[in-house]
Amino acid sequence: MTIKKINILTTMFLVLFGVGISQTAEAARLWSAGWELGSTADTGTSYIEARVNGSQMTIDTTIVHSGTYSAKVTGMSSGVKQLSGIIPSTAGTNGPLYARGYLNITTLPSAENTIIEGDGLYRITLDASGDLRLYDEDGQIGLESSALSTGVWYRVEYLIDRTAAAGSHVVRAYINGVEFAGSATRNLSSGFFTLNWGGNGNGEAQTQGVWYWDDLAVNDSSGSVQNGLPGVGSIRVMRPNAAGDAAATAGLFSDIDEITPNDATDFIQVDTAIPANYNFESWANVGGVSNDRITLVQVGLRHRAESAASAAFEPQIKSQSGGTTQTGTNYTHNDVTWHTNFDEIPRGYKLTSYTDPQAGGAWTPALLDTMIAGVNVTDADPDVHFSSIWALVEYVEIPTPISAPPTTAGLRFFGGLRFFGGLIFR
């Protein structure tokens, strides 16, 4: 099977707080990243959006799949791993894990190059002909010949699953939803710790190659939503633009609305066990349109404790002022270092909302326009600082409907045939 050049737009036909009942977050979407925080910075354990190994993955605003930013792999040096990644569990996991990344190639590598990798257990490579290969630690599983061309966005997904007995482990890879290689008879030696996208992921000694990654996602198999391949999806980020239903002890929405998060430059402070929440900019303001289908909304927090002791808090969201509140996982932070979404690995989003907390139906662009989101601090000893709060929105573009077909007015009929524009219809 050879995958021809596919325009990704065609596949898109086929992804706070007032009085109310608290709802817990669903857990199948572990992590999302569209690089919409505008940085690949990795300050030790305090990375802003993803852990980055190697200095040659940069933010780009010219070639993007959606939103404002993508991550550009370029200027590769011999043997340097240039991978962004997440760690789903400090103890590792057997999966199954389902991952997605959108890939756009400007310059193909000079030889086979690892563009997806994890723990030496599995990898996907790209070569100078645009061929893709899927490997695990025991060797090549499959090949897709001449699959990828330059200047096209491709949805590259993969499945890794070690839950069955040895000899029945699963590794599969897909382009635009079509499997190009896979096996359910593998023997993976350990659980999964990292999922990485980038280049030179197997220590290759190559310097040629320019490509872009955007709109990354990782699912597990829990719950009833997003419990398989992530599928089609684009990512944008919405920022606070006004006060909400509850104010922080100190600071305003303007202290938490910047892209990229500026950490100690300005922030809100919460000194007691209270919520702090905010209205957000409109969906149109971030480039969305009214008929986009919203897949999910995740609430992100950039935070630190005022001193090295344990504070606790949880993200929250609702679709309207005074409405029903959905609450995410409560977690702690016990040091003065700025972190994203958690105080320790893994740092996936702690609140993923698939439906409107108020009415239970799907999120819509109109509901996003009245959304209020923020944080509820449950232990403010020590005080907690928040540098940025944002809403990550995954959506599917719905093509604009074609105008109604022409009527039969003005058509000429001869012997049961209709003549129109040089065509004959029987």
List the chain pLDDT tens, one digit each, 426 residues.
333 333 322 222 222 222 232 333 456 899 999 999 998 876 555 688 887 766 678 899 999 999 999 999 987 776 677 777 777 777 889 999 999 999 999 999 999 999 999 999 999 999 999 999 999 999 999 999 877 999 999 999 999 999 999 999 999 999 999 999 999 999 999 999 989 999 999 988 888 899 999 999 999 999 899 999 999 999 999 999 999 999 999 999 999 999 999 999 999 999 999 999 999 999 999 999 999 999 999 999 999 999 999 999 999 999 999 999 999 999 999 999 999 998 776 778 999 999 999 999 999 999 999 999 999 999 999 999 999 999 999 999 998 766 555 554 444 444 444 433 444 333
The C-alpha atoms of residue 154 and residue 242 are separated, in whole angstroms, by: 37
Quick one: which H or E segment has residue 141?
strand 139-144
CA angle, 241 then 244 then 249, to 5°: 100
256 pairs with which residues across the strands?
A: none
Phi, psi of 10 (to 5 degrees): -70, -30
Give the pLDDT score at 404: 53
Distances (CA, A) of 81 to 51, 110, 134, 196: 12, 16, 18, 10
The C-alpha atoms of residue 242 and residue 418 are separated, in whole angstroms, by: 60
Q: How many CB atoms lie within 10 A of CB 149?
A: 13
> Parallel, antiparallel, or unpaired for β 195-199 and 113-118?
antiparallel
Q: 147 near 134, Cβ under 8 Å?
A: no
Give the pLDDT score at 79: 67
Give the pLDDT score at 205: 82
Phi, psi of 115 (to 5 degrees): -105, -15
Distances (CA, A) of 281 to 240, 275, 297, 340, 378: 6, 20, 14, 21, 27
The C-alpha atoms of residue 401 and residue 404 are separated, in whole angstroms, by: 9
The C-alpha atoms of residue 13 and residue 232 are separated, in whole angstroms, by: 9
Give the pLDDT score at 406: 52
Instruction: Enter the tokens of residue 152.
Output: 């096209």
Q: 257 near 388, Cβ under 8 Å?
A: yes
Phi, psi of 366 (to 5 degrees): -65, -40
The C-alpha atoms of residue 17 and residue 323 are separated, in whole angstroms, by: 7
Distances (CA, A) of 197 to 147, 151, 280, 283, 423: 18, 18, 31, 29, 50
Give the pLDDT score at 76: 74
CA dihedral for 31, 33, 38, 41, sign (positive or negative)? positive
The C-alpha atoms of residue 370 and residue 39 are separated, in whole angstroms, by: 28
The C-alpha atoms of residue 424 and residue 411 are separated, in whole angstroms, by: 11
pTM for the model:
0.87
15 pairs with which residues across the strands?
A: none
Give the pLDDT score at 45: 57
Domain boundaries, the chain: 30-221, 235-396
Topology of domain 30-221, CATH = Jelly Rolls (2.60.120)
Q: 318 near 371, Cβ under 8 Å?
A: yes
Give the pLDDT score at 11: 25
Q: 139 near 171, Cβ under 8 Å?
A: no
Helices first, then strands: H and E counts in the chain = 2, 31
From the options 1.10.357.10, 2.60.120.260, 1.10.3090.10, 2.60.120.380, give the CATH code of 235-396. Answer: 2.60.120.260
Give the pLDDT score at 256: 98
User: DSSP E strands: which ranges in 205-267?
Assistant: 210-219, 234-238, 240-243
Give the pLDDT score at 348: 86
> Parallel, antiparallel, or unpaired for β 234-238 and 384-396?
antiparallel
Of 271, 275, 335, 273, the C-alpha closest to 305 is: 335
* 30-221 matches 235-396 in fold: yes
